[in-house]
Structure 1
Amino acid sequence: MNLREIIMDSIKFPISDTRKFLIFCALIIIMSLSTVLPSYGVKNDTLTLVLSIVTLIVTFVVLGYCIDVIKSGTDGADTLPDFDYVKQFVLGIKALILDIIYFIIPAVIVIIIASASGLFSSFTEIVYISIDAIANETTNMTMILEAVPKSTMNTFTNALGITIIAAIILFIIFSFLSFTALVRFAKTGSGTEGLRFREILRDISKVGVIKIIVTLIVIYIIALIFSVIIGLIGLIPYVGVFIGIFVGIPFVILYLYRAIGLLYADA
């Protein structure tokens, strides 16, 4: 599918089945109760605990349903998938574990780079020197920084720059891998499929790196526009917040996951 077809299909998809869309909206409402009710002054320790547990369970169901939405895109299904709460709860847990793995790998690499480049050691030295300066009643920030040896400050700034650049590059790379891994997982339901890096790279190559980049940028820009509209709707007295959060946000979530599924339909 080309970009225009992906966008148009994804926008229409959330309302392809009104009943299922309303069920999804209801799940989002239930998932939000633990944060919404306290803001209205409803405070009870037992209720808070129960709502927190319910929120956790429903969050996994919602995430699992989003995985099924991705699968609907790769399979070319025209309507929202059916609800299977137990299956989708399990899918949600697996998807979260997969995301954590793809977050941990670049995080560990960045920590190693930061350590090897001297970021931690130079930062620690700067902190100790600053504490000593403050203990000697030096309150001027310029004077505190002047107390830090130039070599230490140069090491810190260079290491910080290297670490930030490495973090950005790794974030982009692992974002590609994570999206593709999620799609492979959605297709098979197997978490191990989301860790087969050779197949993941093959899928990325098959879809096309440029197409993936351009499509992701466009769908997220459109999602941002929808979010602005939701924010404006939220300004309507009384009902605006509920319409925006409990209808608008579910729509955007389904739109995004459908677009991701369609993007990788040819992989």
Structure 2
Amino acid sequence: MNLREIIMDAIKYPISDTRKFLIFCVLIILMSLSTVIPSYGIKDGTVSIILTLVTLIVSFIVLGYSVEVIKGGTEGEATLPDFDYVKHFVMGVKALILEIIYFIIPAILVIIVASATGLFSSFTKIVYISIDAMANNTSNLTKIMAAVPQSTMNTFTNSLTITLIVAIILFIIFSLMSFTGLVRFAKTGSGTEGLRFREILKDMSKIGFLKIIVTLIVIYIIALALSFVIGLIGLIPYIGVFISIFVGVPFIILFLYRAIGLLYAEA
């Protein structure tokens, strides 16, 4: 499918089955109660604990159902999948673990780069020198920074620049890989499949790296535009928040995951 076909299909998809869409909307409302209810002045401790527990459980179900939506997209299913709350809860837990792994790997690599380039050591020196300067009644920021040796400041600046560049590159690479890994998990139900980096790269090359990047950028721009509209609706007193959460948020979630599933249908 080309980009236009993916977008048009994903926009129509959330209302392909009104009953299932409304059920999904109810799940989003339940997931949001722990943040919405306190805004109306209800701050009972027991209620907060219960709502937090409900939010956690429903969040996993919503994530698992979203993964099922991806699977339907890759298989050409035209309507929303059926609900299986236990299955979707388990899938949601697995999907979260998978995403955490994809976050941890680049985070560790960035920490290694930061340490190797001297970011931590130079920052520590700057902090200690600044503390000593303030202890000597130096309150002017310019004078405090002047007390830091130029070599230390150069090391800090260079290492920070290198670390940020590496972090951005790794974030982009692992974000793209995490999407593909999530699709492999959706198709197979196996978390291990979502971590087969060689197969993931093969899937990405089969679709085309440029197509993946452009499509993801476009669907997220559309999602941001929809979020802006939802934000405006949410400003309506009392009912605005529920309208935006009940209709807008579910629509955006289903739109995004459907589009991702269609994007990877050729893999």
User: Do they fold alike, i.e. is TM over 0.5?
Assistant: yes
Where does residue 161 of structure 2 map in the other structure? 161
- Tell me the C-alpha RMSD between the 2 structures: 0.7
Q: Does 1:245 align with 2:245?
A: yes
Give, in angstroms, the shift of residue 231 of structure 1. 1.5
Question: 2:164 & 2:252 partners in 1: Cα distance?
Answer: 30
Q: Distance in 2 between matches of 1:244 and 1:35?
A: 14
Distance in 2 between residues matched to 1:244 and 1:44, nearest whole Å: 25
Structure 2 counterparts to residues 3-18 of structure 1, below 5 A: 3-18=3-18
For residues 169-188 of structure 1, the aligned pairs below 5 Å read 169-188=169-188
The residue aligned with 1:261 is 261
Distance in 2 between the 1:5 and 1:131 partners? 60
Distance in 2 between the 1:95 and 1:152 partners?
43
- The superposition leaves residues 4-56 of structure 1 with CA deviations (integer Å, 9 ceiling, x where unpaired) of 00000000000101111111110011011111111111111111111111111
Equivalence for 1:111: 111
Q: CA deviation at 1:180?
A: 0.2
Find the residue that maps to 1:11 and give its secondary structure.
helix
Runs of 4+ in 1 over 3 A off after TM superposition: none
- Trace 1:119-130 onto structure 2 (pairs within 5 A): 119-130=119-130
Alignment match, 2:32:
32
Q: Hey, what does 1:138 align to over in structure 2?
A: 138
2:44 maps to 44
Shift of 1:262: 0.3
Per the normalisation by structure 2, the TM-score is 0.99
| Structure 1 unpaired stretches of 5+ | none
CA deviations over 1:107-141 (Å, ceiling 9, x no partner): 00000000000000000000000000111111000
Report how many residues are paired: 267
Instruction: Note the residue ranges of structure 2 that are not aligned, 5 or more in a row.
Output: none
Instruction: Specify the code of the residue in structure 1 equivalent to 2:124.
Output: T
Residue 221 of structure 2 corresponds to which residue in structure 1? 221
**TM-score of the superposed pair, with normalisation by structure 1:** 0.99
Q: How far apart in 1 are the matches of 2:71 and 2:130?
A: 54
Separation of aligned partners in 2, 1:108 and 1:235: 41
Residue aligning to 1:196: 196
**Structure 2 residue aligned with 1:230:** 230
Deviation per residue, 1:158-202 (Å, 9 max, x gap) = 000000000000000001110000000000000000011111000
In the TM superposition, what is the alpha-carbon distance from 1:238 to its structure 2 partner? 3.3
Structure 2 residue identity aligned to 1:84: D
State the 1:237 CA deviation: 3.5
